[in-house]
Amino acid sequence: MKVLIIGDSHTGALKRGLDKLTESADPSVGPSVGHDYLIRPLGPGANMAFPFWRADADSIEITNEDYHRQMPCVPPPRMRQPDAIGLCMPMWWGRSVSNMGKARVALAGLPSGRAISYAVFRQMVLADMAHVLGLAETLQARGFETFAVEPPSAFRDNRLAPWFGMDWLLGHIKAHRAIMTEAMAERGIPIIRRPDHVSDDEGFTLQQYRHPDPQDAHHANADFGIVMLHQIEGYLSHAEQPATA
């Protein structure tokens, strides 16, 4: 099965994980993957809140200049006919949380900002994700098995936590997850979840999955990528099984 995974910078952990699984002879790294993966980024997620693609009858062109340099169209020339396409972008909470911080607002009940309603936050999240959701819908409508891949939750040393507080950070991540889960369910697009064991009781991603760069407090490492690839493998294996009467 040919699997294309595209998205924001969190595709980096998946790529590192795939490389580690492929290159390592150490069985403790985990079972190798059984599908043919191509994992490529479009670019940093910052501009995914704005129009970055357009579809015509034959293709889906990436229109954002920077993203286009990474990938001119979806699917890209290197994998014209994937059997499944994973999107590592719809579940990224970072922009929405950052938008809350920049506006100095907070969901009602959370600290560190002027209170706004859940409904207003929902509108902000859906507006931020409008183009990503549109891409997911379009891929699905064109017959590609489409799914979303969750990025890590925040790490405990997230840069925003000292300024806005842990509760503020985790509260918005949780709300974002709920809103996007609902949005994806409405579209019939499955989400490959990060398993519970990668997070602590509060919801922070465990430090063992932290990026090797000590200055990078928000990307995950190859081990997180491996965990998520195994989650994807599990989903694809299930999806491949013929339906029983």
- Which positions touch another protein (CB under 8 A)? 8-9, 11-13, 15-16, 40-41, 43-47, 49-50, 64, 66, 69-71, 76, 78, 94, 96, 98-103, 105, 108-109, 114-120, 123-124, 127-128, 159-160, 162-164, 211, 213, 215-219
- CA-to-CA distance for 244 and 193, rounded, in angstroms? 25
Burial class for 153, CB neighbours closer than 10 Å (0-12, 13-18, 19+): buried
Q: Which is nearer to another protein, 127 or 239 (CB)?
A: 127
Q: Sign of torsion, CA 3 7 8 10?
A: negative
DSSP class per residue in 5-41: EEESTTHHHHHHHHHHHHH---GGG-PPP-SEEEEEE
Nearest distance, CB of residue 91 and another protein, angstroms? 15
Q: Which is nearer to another protein, 194 or 211 (CB)?
A: 211
Q: Which is nearer to another protein, 43 or 90 (CB)?
A: 43
Q: Which is nearer to another protein, 194 or 218 (CB)?
A: 218
Task: Measure Cα distances from 97 to 27, 107, 112 in Å.
Answer: 38, 10, 12
Question: Do 165 and 104 contact (CB within 8 A), yes or no?
Answer: no
Nearest distance, CB of residue 133 and another protein, angstroms? 14
Nearest distance, CB of residue 239 and another protein, angstroms? 26
Nearest distance, CB of residue 203 and another protein, angstroms? 18
Nearest distance, CB of residue 206 and another protein, angstroms? 19
Q: Which is nearer to another protein, 92 or 144 (CB)?
A: 92
